[in-house]
A and B are shown apart, each in its own frame.
Chain A
Amino acid sequence: MLEHRNTPARDPERVVLLGAGGFIGKALNRRLVEARIPTLPLTSSDLDLCAEDAPARLKETLRSGDSLVVLSALTPDRGRGIDTFMKNLKMIENLCAALGDSPCAHVVYFSSDAVYPLGTGLIDEESAAAPTDLYGVMHRSRELMLLQSLRQLCILRPSLIYGADDTHNSYGPNRFRRQAHAEGKIVIGGEGEETRDHVYIDDVASLTHLVLTHQSTGILNLATGNATDFGSVARHVAALFDGEVEVCPTPRKFPITHRSFDTTALLKAFPDFTFTSLEEGLQLAHEGMN
């Protein structure tokens, strides 16, 4: 549940994006520039959050009126081991050290729905965050580190995000699109029975923009409230190609799991927001790829 500090919404003085070179960072930067909000996008090349001098450099960079969006993380495609886990924690340790002495006006932390275990039914913001892998534990640990250090904090937990510029290529619409493009087929696990909530990247950027302008605090899941099975998603993606794209089931290796979100908190926080439909979003991602 979010609480808005700004009602009505007001543009932040400046937004500093940590992790601006990633999939979400680029989309959010675009959205903020379109909205003419002063933005300082920083990538890991500009500022290595794991480095010893990171706290000092952050202190030099940040101003008290800034809104800070934290997207920096080594995602599972960059490693799932303890080393990656510890580096991810180091980033937030350094960030907390920097913000401890000179907090900025508002911090938005991008967590993940990986903090919720699978197979626990309909998820809302009050569902127990009891992650079952190091990636989920990493995000939950970072949330707690930030919660202990900051007051004006918003934690966003996005579900599966798709869009043309995705860099992770995880199982789902992004991989399906690339696979169809490169190989003329889409390989799905089992019959693709698992349902997930797929969010279009521009919607994530728009919602983050709303969180920033409302200076919202609290926890919000970024999900549409509509879960679709991977098989249907694959067939949607396949249908967007001119030539025939085969959707290829494979023998099932893992039990079927589902994940659905109760998005009432989002409806309450941003009543006027409407999500891009999956059909439209897949079409846009397809066009972006071309």
Chain B
Amino acid sequence: MTAPKVGFAGMTHLGLNSAVASAARGAHVTCYDGDEALVESLAAGRTHIVEPDLDRLLGEHAAGLQFTSDLATLSDRDFVYIAPDVPTNDRGESDLTGIRELIERVDGSLPAEIPLIVLSQVPPGFTRQLKLRAGRPLYYQVETLIFGQAIHRALHPERFIIGCGDPEEPLPEAFRTYLELFECPLLPMRYESAELAKISINCCLVASIGVANTLAELCERTGADWSEIVPALKRDKRIGPHAYLAPGLGIAGGNLERDLNTVIGLADRHGTDAGIVRAWIHNSEYRKHWVLRALHRRLLGQVEDPVIAVWGLAYKPNTHSTKNSPALALIDHLDRYRVQAFDPVVKGAPVEALGIVEAPDPREACAGADVLAIMTPWNDFKQVPPADVARVMNGTLVIDPYRTWNPAACREAGLTYITLGSA
């Protein structure tokens, strides 16, 4: 079997991870981006994003990956993915200008028989409204990228959801051959269904998160412990072992917010009820400030000139992204206090911009601190013994929303430990 020749246009998070995973699955991949410096860097094996296994796979499959800033290089591809990340504004709304421009350029540069597959996050109705050269085959493929697990998800998708102009028509052979490399079910459907399927998946995830947050807060007030309840839920077949049931500090990252806002916009336009989606967003905003409320309840206003240690600035582990990060939302309201922060990945200029002290390691961040807030549950933090931290802190309070540390070990070390979902 001849390896499919695949093109990817747009080398941000989605495009790069998908391209590298495709090469790892045996495809011949050509990656295009208009940013020459970025292309040069990627060609030299240097990535600009943090994802587990990305650098390793890029090195291992360098022979199957070509990087270019010349669009014409994609002309020999069997099909080309349109894969730039679509940015969102502060209100979680997509800015589609960049992807529209890219599609226009790619469409204008490549022969009309090369199929284009839109992989980026686009709203329902986007794909069918595209005006491409006559005869250009066009598909939309749902991405389910998770920051911090992007490579794993791209290598091992649960299924492929493919939006088609006519789902009854067979997929182009090379495209089908490529998808079959991943050994998962193919679900062809009309464009609009595929676009809404992506949003539906995220709504189900947010609903689970909303349930977890709402019930975890009740646990905090009633003496129950959410961590004891979760295993019972996961053994229920209707909920499942992989359900999103970990309480958190609201929805972060940007992608889920984007989809929720898209649903609200569509529902308002079409006159359907999206009250529940608005409630999820409201609950998320409320949860985002859980640590701030805990700090006020336990420390601020009670201790003069408190020093606050913050571990973690990224919005979740294994990523450098700080978009909608709970840590940053917290720090934004602590500007009158001394904040000493450490993150394994977010360093330098982004930390400086926050006007806080950047510590060289987790222990140093805690030196003289009255409280430690563990805002991103990086694995690195699990390795630090609570007793070590207790020794260098001035106070004893540890706010660990994600239960990064073992509560019993913290209490043994003489720390006052509070976490989500537990009284």
Question: In the bound complex, do residue A267 and residue B292 qualify as a contact, i.e. CB atoms below 8 Å apart?
Answer: yes
Mark out the residues of chain B between 271 and 295 whose CB falls within 8 Å of any chain A CB in the assembled complex. Answer: 282, 286, 289, 292-293
Residue of B nearest to A270 (CB): B301
**Contacting residue for A274 out of B286, B301, B336, CB 8 A:** B301
Question: In the bound complex, do residue B289 and residue A273 qualify as a contact, i.e. CB atoms below 8 Å apart?
Answer: no
Residue of A nearest to B300 (CB): A271
Contacts of B300 in A (CB 8 A): 271-272
> What residues make up the interface of A, taking CB atoms closer than 8 Å to B?
122, 124, 126, 225, 262-264, 267-268, 271-274
Contacts of B333 in A (CB 8 A): 267-268, 271
Interface residue? B2 (CB, 8 A) = no
Contacts of B282 in A (CB 8 A): 126
Question: In the bound complex, do residue A262 and residue B286 qualify as a contact, i.e. CB atoms below 8 Å apart?
Answer: yes
Return 26 A-B CB contacts under 8 Å, by A number: A122-B286, A124-B286, A126-B282, A225-B293, A262-B286, A263-B293, A264-B286, A264-B289, A264-B293, A267-B289, A267-B292, A267-B296, A267-B333, A268-B289, A268-B292, A268-B333, A271-B300, A271-B301, A271-B334, A271-B336, A272-B300, A272-B301, A272-B336, A273-B301, A274-B301, A274-B302
Contacts of A267 in B (CB 8 A): 289, 292-293, 296, 333
Min CB distance B338 to A, Å, is 14
Contacts of B336 in A (CB 8 A): 271-272
Mark out the residues of chain B between 291 and 333 whose CB falls within 8 Å of any chain A CB in the assembled complex. Answer: 292-293, 296, 300-302, 333
Contacts of A122 in B (CB 8 A): 286
Given the complex of chains A and B, what is the CA–CA distance between A271 and B282 in angstroms? 22
Interface-central residue, B282, B302, B334, by most chain A CB under 10 Å: B282
Given the complex of chains A and B, what is the CA–CA distance between A273 and B302 in angstroms? 10
Contacts of A225 in B (CB 8 A): 293
> What residues make up the interface of B, taking CB atoms closer than 8 Å to A?
282, 286, 289, 292-293, 296, 300-302, 333-334, 336
Min CB distance A278 to B, Å, is 15
Residue of A nearest to B336 (CB): A271
Given the complex of chains A and B, what is the CA–CA distance between A233 and B282 in angstroms? 31
Interface-central residue, A225, A268, A271, A272, by most chain B CB under 10 Å: A271
Question: In the bound complex, do residue B296 and residue A271 qualify as a contact, i.e. CB atoms below 8 Å apart?
Answer: yes
Contacts of A272 in B (CB 8 A): 300-301, 336
Whether A264 contacts B301 in the complex (CB less than 8 A), given A124-B286, A126-B282, comes out as: no
Contacts of B292 in A (CB 8 A): 264, 267-268
12 additional A-B pairs beyond A126-B282, A271-B300, A273-B301, beta carbons within 8 Å, are A124-B286, A262-B286, A264-B292, A267-B289, A267-B292, A267-B293, A267-B296, A268-B289, A271-B301, A271-B336, A272-B300, A272-B336
Please name the 6 residue pairs, one residue from A and one from B, whose CB atoms are nearest each other, closest first.
Answer: A274-B301, A264-B289, A267-B296, A268-B333, A272-B301, A262-B286
Given the complex of chains A and B, what is the CA–CA distance between A271 and B301 in angstroms? 8
Contacts of B293 in A (CB 8 A): 225, 263-264, 267
Given the complex of chains A and B, what is the CA–CA distance between A263 and B292 in angstroms? 11
Given the complex of chains A and B, what is the CA–CA distance between A191 and B301 in angstroms? 35
Contacts of A274 in B (CB 8 A): 301-302
Contacts of A273 in B (CB 8 A): 301
Contacts of A271 in B (CB 8 A): 296, 300-301, 333-334, 336
Given the complex of chains A and B, what is the CA–CA distance between A268 and B336 in angstroms? 11
Contacts of B301 in A (CB 8 A): 271-274
Min CB distance A288 to B, Å, is 24
Contacts of A268 in B (CB 8 A): 289, 292, 333
Given the complex of chains A and B, what is the CA–CA distance between A273 and B296 in angstroms? 9
Min CB distance B292 to A, Å, is 6
Given the complex of chains A and B, what is the CA–CA distance between A126 and B279 in angstroms? 12
Given the complex of chains A and B, what is the CA–CA distance between A271 and B300 in angstroms? 8
Residue of A nearest to B286 (CB): A262
Residue of B nearest to A269 (CB): B333
Given the complex of chains A and B, what is the CA–CA distance between A273 and B300 in angstroms? 9
Given the complex of chains A and B, what is the CA–CA distance between A199 and B333 in angstroms? 24
Contacts of B289 in A (CB 8 A): 264, 267-268
Min CB distance B54 to A, Å, is 37
Given the complex of chains A and B, what is the CA–CA distance between A263 and B333 in angstroms? 14
Given the complex of chains A and B, what is the CA–CA distance between A27 and B200 in angstroms? 54
Min CB distance A179 to B, Å, is 31
Contacts of B286 in A (CB 8 A): 122, 124, 262, 264
Min CB distance A77 to B, Å, is 34
Given the complex of chains A and B, what is the CA–CA distance between A263 and B296 in angstroms? 11
Residue of B nearest to A225 (CB): B293
Contacts of A262 in B (CB 8 A): 286
Contacts of B334 in A (CB 8 A): 271
Min CB distance B307 to A, Å, is 15
Given the complex of chains A and B, what is the CA–CA distance between A264 and B300 in angstroms? 14
Min CB distance A260 to B, Å, is 11
